[in-house]
């Protein structure tokens, strides 16, 4: 399909995002960040760049924004370290690349794309992933680069309870903006380009107080990230273990390919059916080969934005 109307959608995480604890100024900071990212990716698509280029650009920008849990501003492990994950997938070829458990790669999504382009493997982890990134000339940083005081305080609040929580899900001892301890901060993007191709990219710092070595759904192709030109592109955010157990992203494509479900029906079945059935909070963004969008979540809110063609971008935080 040529001359398709390009579509971009992004997310910055889902969770308990209450209007009662959100000031207009706090919400506006998120809207501004989302608008900036959507506009950049939208411009790239309108210039003829690929869906893969646009999604990687969007996620890279989100990795640089400390409002979200990916790259700079990533959450801490129990040992007060950072372990970052990312994945990308090209719907035109089903090529995919992912990295997990890295602490020195400035932009994890770039490393994931480098794995895709290399083609020998799909997922690299830990020291091997970092060696690969260095070999490819990607920017490397010391782990403290990703640290912020806000994330460190979140770790201390959660660690004192003895719990491991998905991102900042645990009850906060204070009330930071937008119930920061109760949201899932994974970031992601999906796109349809003017050539009719789909792509998805996802990046995350994982869980606050997670055990060192834990890997969630984001870098697992078919769980938190998936793209297939025959059906849809999906990027997920939420309780990673639950998304892994239901193979959430691929299940949406399978429902469409094998059962003839629409994008809306398939995403609704997973987000409001399969995931809640096993106690899985979260959400996802998805675009199908016809340009239909679904931004579904079963939490109180999800940071999200999208744009179609050259129309003004739309951003939202709370449920409609």
Q: Which helix (H) or strand (E) is 315 found in, with range?
A: strand 314-318
pLDDT classification of 165: cutoffs 50, 70, 90:
low
Average pLDDT over the chain reads 91
Please provide the distance, in angstroms rounded to a whole number, between the alpha carbons at the two ends of the chain.
33
- Which of the residues are catalytic? 186
Q: Over the stretch 110-153, which tens digit does the pLDDT of each residue have?
A: 999 999 999 999 999 999 999 999 999 999 999 999 999 989 99
Model confidence at 304, in pLDDT bands (50, 70, 90)?
very high
- Counting residues of the chain whose pLDDT is more than 70, the rounded percentage is 90
pTM of the model: 0.93
Known binding residue 206? Answer is: no
DSSP per position, 77-131: BTTS---EEEEEEETTTTEEEEEEEESSBS-HHHHHHHHHHH-S-SEEEHHHHHH
Compute CA distances 185 → 69, 72, 235, 285, 315, whole Å: 4, 12, 13, 14, 16
Show the CA angle centred on residue 129, arms to residues 126 and 254, nearest 5°. 95
d(CA 61, CA 234): 19
Q: Is 13 annotated as a binding residue?
A: no
273 is in an annotated binding site: no
Q: Which fold has domain 7-318?
A: 3.60.20
pLDDT digit string (tens) for 285-303?
999 999 999 999 999 999 9
Q: How far apart are CA 228 and CA 94, in angstroms?
A: 6
pLDDT at 252 over 80: yes
* Segment holding 212, helix H or strand E: none
Question: What are the residue boundaries of the structural domains of the chain, listed by start?
Answer: 7-318
Which of 256, 314, 259, 248 has the alpha carbon at shortest distance from 290? 256
Are β-strands 187-192 and 301-308 bridged in parallel, bridged antiparallel, or unpaired? unpaired
Q: What is the pLDDT of residues 3-26, one digit of tens each?
A: 899 999 999 998 866 666 667 888
pLDDT for the residue 23: 77
To which residue do tokens 């107080």 refer?
A: 209
Determine which helix (DSSP H) or strand (DSSP E) holds 236, and give its type and residue range: strand 232-238
| Structure-block tokens of residue 290 | 């016809």
Q: 168 pLDDT exceeds 60?
A: no
Q: Is 110 annotated as a binding residue?
A: no
239 annotated ligand binder = yes
Q: How confident is the model at residue 1 (pLDDT cuts 50, 70, 90)?
A: low
C-alpha torsion 211→297→304→230, nearest 10? 100
- Residue 167: count of CB within 10 angstroms of its CB: 30
């Amino acid at each position: 399909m040529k001359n398709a109307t390009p579509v971009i959608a992004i997310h910055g995480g889902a969770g308990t995002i209450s209007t009662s604890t959100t000031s207009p100024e706090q919400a506006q900071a998120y809207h501004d960040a989302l608008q900036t990212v959507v506009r950049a990716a939208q411009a790239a698509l309108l210039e003829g760049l690929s869906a893969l280029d646009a999604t990687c650009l969007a996620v890279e920008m989100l990795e640089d924004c400390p409002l979200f849990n990916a790259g700079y501003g990533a959450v801490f492990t129990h040992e007060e370290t950072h372990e970052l994950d990312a994945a990308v997938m090209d719907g035109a070829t089903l090529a995919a690349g992912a990295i997990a458990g890295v602490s020195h790669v400035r932009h994890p999504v770039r490393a994931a794309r480098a794995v895709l382009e290399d083609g020998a493997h799909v997922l690299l982890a830990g020291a091997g992933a970092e060696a690969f990134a260095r070999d490819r000339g990607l920017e490397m940083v010391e782990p403290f680069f990703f640290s912020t005081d806000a994330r460190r305080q979140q770790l201390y609040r959660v660690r004192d309870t003895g719990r491991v929580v998905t991102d900042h899900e645990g009850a906060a001892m204070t009330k930071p903006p937008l119930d920061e301890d109760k949201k899932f901060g994974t970031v992601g993007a999906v796109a349809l380009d003017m050539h009719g191709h789909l792509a998805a990219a996802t990046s995350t710092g994982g869980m606050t107080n997670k055990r060192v070595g834990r890997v969630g759904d984001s870098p697992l192709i078919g769980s938190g990230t998936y793209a297939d030109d025959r059906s849809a592109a999906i990027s997920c955010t939420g309780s990673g273990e639950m998304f892994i157990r239901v193979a959430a992203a691929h299940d949406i494509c399978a429902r469409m390919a094998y059962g003839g479900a629409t994008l809306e029906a398939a995403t609704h079945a997973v987000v409001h059916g399969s995931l809640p059935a096993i106690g899985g909070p979260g959400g996802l963004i998805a675009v199908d080969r016809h340009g239909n969008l679904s931004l579904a979540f079963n939490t109180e809110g999800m940071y999200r934005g999208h744009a179609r063609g050259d129309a003004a971008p739309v951003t939202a935080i709370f449920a409609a």
